[in-house]
Amino acid sequence: MPPPDGSRALTRTGGPGSRATGSGSAGPPLDSLISGTGALLGQGFSGAVSALRDTHRVIAGRVFWALSAAGDPVALATLPVRVLHDSISGLAYGLTGAVGETVARVGAELTALIAAGQQAGLRARVLLGVLNGMFGDRLAREGSPLALRMVARVDAAAPPSPRLAVFIHGLCETDDAWFLWRGRGPLYGERLRVPLGYTPVYVRYNSGQPIANNGAELADLLEELVADAPMTIEEIVLIGHSMGGLVAREALSALSARDSALPVRHLISLGTPHRGARLEVAADAAARVMAWVPETRALADALGLRSAGIQDLRHGAAERCAQDVDHYFFSAGLGRGLEPWLGDLLVHRHSAWDTARGEPVAFAADHYSHLGDATHFDLLGHPVIAEQIVRWLGGTRLLEAGAAQRP
């Protein structure tokens, strides 16, 4: 479920200082989304054909090399065959790629004409988040209409408050992610608004961009939120899911470098890979190995297309936790049998707690909680987590025994 239609939006419309506020829609125009998707699919099809062509050439080259090594008569006989083969296959692959890309683009443009004036629905926005997570840096460089801009949405129905709870989603997500688990109970934003008086703010951004870039942009946005607020902001809490926690930490570093006086008091990270994500480490290693073998080099090139944001997850947080901010850490695990191997599917507990095996935790023990028998995405909306966040921010020290595991 998207944020309320009446939400106020603070969007980045250009460079620093170029901002616009307004009611706006929760998603991009559907025709722009379709048009941009068609262009991306066309490029993807053309790239896949090129990869297949390169692999074909390597395999065929080995066969022709083996035949040429058999002796002069055979080598002379295979030479015209190889020239003819390379010419025909090159032409076939070239035409297939060009025609496929053109069909994708034209089909998307025709569909976009039909969809003109409509807004993208939830499924389209979810797809947009995935595309930005996978290729967002490239989309931004090319000026694609699919490239997301950073936007902060404030519920217009919520009464103004001097306390802001800023929610930052993770990789391949959008601000819609915080609304997907409504059926389980009150959303995190609702739980913080009613008992504690926080105004929920939902940030949407291009998760394929470098994490440091998104962090600097978030710092700008926070300063603008405070400047545009109808009252003096006394407290800000940042709540980040997965990559969102790393973006928040980069924002804190940027604010510190500026000697900013923003009242950021707390950072709550939910399944954030502070010490890196093993899946990205494995993907990087696989790409390096496959690049050494000619037959799999095309696959390595395909892996290399993953966004800068994804590749940043290999390293985790670039800076130590800010000492003037209270940090709280929540992790999840699939259960005792699978958790040691898979963590919560994407992040392991030690990385989510920003610690290594045998290393003491940096904060008091009650700043860490773990949710068992849960996945990475359960962290976006779970009643146990909602109650723990309320207790953390409301001053109650711990959950009741058995509600969550602690270090």
Q: Which of 58-67, 248-257, 359-368 has the highest mean pLDDT?
A: 248-257
Query: Above 70 in pLDDT, residue 207?
Result: yes
Which residues are bridge partners to 375 per DSSP?
Answer: none
User: Which has the minimum average pLDDT: 138-142, 163-167, 298-302?
Assistant: 298-302
pLDDT per residue as tens digits for the range 214-244: 999 999 999 999 999 989 999 999 999 999 9
| DSSP secondary structure, 287-333, as one string | HHHHHTSGGGHHHHHHHTTS-HHHHHTTT--SSPPPTTSEEEEEEE-
**Residue 112, class by beta-carbon neighbours within 10 Å (0-12 exposed, 13-18 middle, 19+ buried)?**
buried
Residue 47, in any domain of the structure: yes
Structure tokens at 188: 């995190």
- Among left, alpha and beta (phi > 0; psi -120 to 50; other), residue 348 is beta
85 vs 380: which has the higher pLDDT: 380
pLDDT per residue as tens digits for the range 294-328: 777 777 777 788 899 999 999 999 888 888 899 99
User: Which has the minimum average pLDDT: 142-151, 237-246, 367-376?
Assistant: 142-151
pLDDT at 119: 59
Say whether both 234 and 180 belong to one domain.
Answer: yes
Q: What is the CA radius of gyration of the chain?
A: 25
- Residues of 49-61 as b/e, b for ≥16 C-beta within 10 angstroms? bebebbbbbeeee
Instruction: Give me the mean pLDDT over the 112-138 stretch.
Output: 74
Residue 3, in any domain of the structure: no
CA distance 34 to 115: 8
Say whether both 50 and 198 belong to one domain.
Answer: no
Q: Which of 73, 99, 114 is the last residue of a domain?
A: 114
Residue 175, in any domain of the structure: yes
Q: Which of 114, 131, 155 is the last residue of a domain?
A: 114
CA distance 9 to 160: 14
pLDDT at 256: 94
Instruction: Give me the mean pLDDT over the 277-306 stretch.
Output: 83
Note down the domain range covering 39.
30-114
201 φ, ψ (degrees, to nearest 5): -130, 125
Q: Is 226 within 8 Å of 260 (Cβ atoms)?
A: no
Say whether both 97 and 168 belong to one domain.
Answer: no
Say whether both 228 and 346 belong to one domain.
Answer: yes
- Residues of 187-206 as b/e, b for ≥16 C-beta within 10 angstroms? bbbebbbeebebbbbbbbbb
Cα end-to-end span (Å), the chain:
34
Say whether both 69 and 15 belong to one domain.
Answer: no
Structure tokens at 108: 């998307």
Query: Above 50 in pLDDT, residue 34?
Result: yes
Say whether both 92 and 210 belong to one domain.
Answer: no
Say whether both 108 and 253 belong to one domain.
Answer: no
Band (15; pLDDT cuts 50, 70, 90): very low
Residue 327, in any domain of the structure: yes
Instruction: Give me the mean pLDDT over the 94-119 stretch.
Output: 55
The identity of residue 386, as a single letter, is A
Q: Are strands 8-12 and 19-22 parallel, antiparallel or unpaired?
A: antiparallel
Q: Is 35 helix (H, G, I), strand (E, B) or coil?
A: helix
Give me the chain's average pLDDT, please. Answer: 80
Residue 126, in any domain of the structure: no
Residue 124, in any domain of the structure: no
pLDDT at 237: 97
Say whether both 68 and 178 belong to one domain.
Answer: no
Q: Are strands 199-204 and 151-154 parallel, antiparallel or unpaired?
A: antiparallel
pLDDT at 318: 82
User: Which helix H or strand E contains 268, and what residues bound it?
Assistant: strand 264-270
204 φ, ψ (degrees, to nearest 5): -120, 140
Say whether both 151 and 250 belong to one domain.
Answer: yes
31 vs 263: which has the higher pLDDT: 263
Say whether both 107 and 152 belong to one domain.
Answer: no
pLDDT at 385: 95
User: Which has the minimum average pLDDT: 46-60, 92-106, 294-308?
Assistant: 92-106
Residue 70, in any domain of the structure: yes
Band (287; pLDDT cuts 50, 70, 90): confident
Distance of CA 16 to the CA centre of its chain: 23
pLDDT at 329: 97
pLDDT at 400: 33
CA distance 112 to 134: 23
Say whether both 308 and 216 belong to one domain.
Answer: yes
The number of domains in the chain is 2
Q: Show the beta-strand stretches assigned E in 115-241.
A: 151-154, 163-168, 199-204, 235-241
pLDDT at 16: 32
Instruction: Give me the mean pLDDT over the 373-394 stretch.
Output: 94
Say whether both 229 and 110 belong to one domain.
Answer: no
How much of the chain, in percent, has pLDDT values that exceed 90?
Answer: 45
CATH code of the domain in which 172 resides: 3.40.50.1820
Residue 85, in any domain of the structure: yes
